[in-house]
């Protein structure tokens, strides 16, 4: 039986969600909440090895078709959910995850055209049925997000602007469909203003 809360941080590259996830972790810790911050892909030995493959630099010679790519993300997720997230939730930890299953729906599904139902069904297996209690979408226009990326050099960051526009729209659709779970914050605002919105969202669910 799950006891702790699972909070996921979603958004396109450059949306600032990783910075906000760190701030949310500090906020919860200061209030004495037992919590952990994890990221996808990664968080287990296999997951970190998969991360290196998925985020290899563009000149690494590693290419992959969109299904192979999705299945690698799903494999990393399958490890993280079973070995790390579920045990932490059972111990009562609040678990913050920088990206989760909806990143696959947005990037591989809406972005790359992998069948959405296929992703939904297999994500169910990868997550072992785990569903977030709260998902925060850091919404930002693609141009502003790109301007924030200092060094876009990994395979995924190198996709064109139209790819990221599809990913952003995908995230917005997901948030609309899962409106009970999602809070959408305007990630183009000043860092402190975004932080306030995040803290309000989290406090409302704890």
Contacting residues toward ligand TYD, per CB under 6 A: 13, 18, 40-41, 55, 73, 98-99, 103-104, 107-108, 156-157
CB of 35 to ligand TYD, least distance (A): 19
CB of 32 to ligand TYD, least distance (A): 28
What is the Cα 136 distance to its own chain's centre? Answer: 9
Q: Look at the block and give the residue holding tokens 């972790």.
A: 25
Of 52, 163, 72, 161, the closest CA to residue 110 belongs to 163
CB of 195 to ligand TYD, least distance (A): 17
Q: How far apart are CA 43 and CA 28, in angstroms?
A: 20
Burial of 151 (0-12, 13-18, 19+ CB in 10 A): exposed
Q: Look at the block and give the residue holding tokens 């996830």.
A: 21
Q: In this complex, which beta carbon is closest to ligand TYD, that of residue 98 or of residue 139?
A: 98
Q: In this complex, which beta carbon is closest to ligand TYD, that of residue 133 or of residue 154?
A: 154
CB of 14 to ligand TYD, least distance (A): 7
């Amino acid at each position: 039986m799950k006891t702790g809360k699972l909070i996921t941080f979603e958004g396109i590259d450059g949306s600032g969600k990783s910075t906000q996830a760190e701030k949310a972790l500090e906020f919860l810790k200061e209030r004495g909440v037992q919590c952990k911050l994890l990221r996808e892909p990664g968080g287990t030995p296999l997951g970190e090895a998969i991360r290196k493959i998925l985020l290899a630099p563009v000149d690494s010679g590693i290419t992959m078709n969109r299904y192979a790519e999705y299945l690698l993300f799903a494999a990393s997720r399958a490890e993280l959910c079973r070995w790390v997230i579920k045990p932490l939730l059972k111990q009562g930890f609040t678990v913050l995850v920088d990206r989760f299953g909806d990143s696959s729906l947005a990037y591989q599904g809406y972005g790359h055209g992998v069948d959405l139902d296929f992703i939904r069904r297999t994500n169910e297996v990868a997550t072992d049925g785990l569903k977030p209690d709260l998902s925060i979408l850091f919404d930002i226009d693609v141009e502003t997000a790109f301007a924030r990326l200092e060094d876009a050099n990994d395979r995924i960051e190198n996709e064109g602007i139209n790819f990221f526009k599809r990913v952003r729209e995908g995230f917005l659709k997901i948030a609309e469909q899962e409106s009970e779970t999602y809070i959408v914050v305007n990630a183009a605002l000043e860092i402190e203003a975004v932080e306030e919105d995040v803290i309000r969202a989290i406090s409302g669910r704890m």
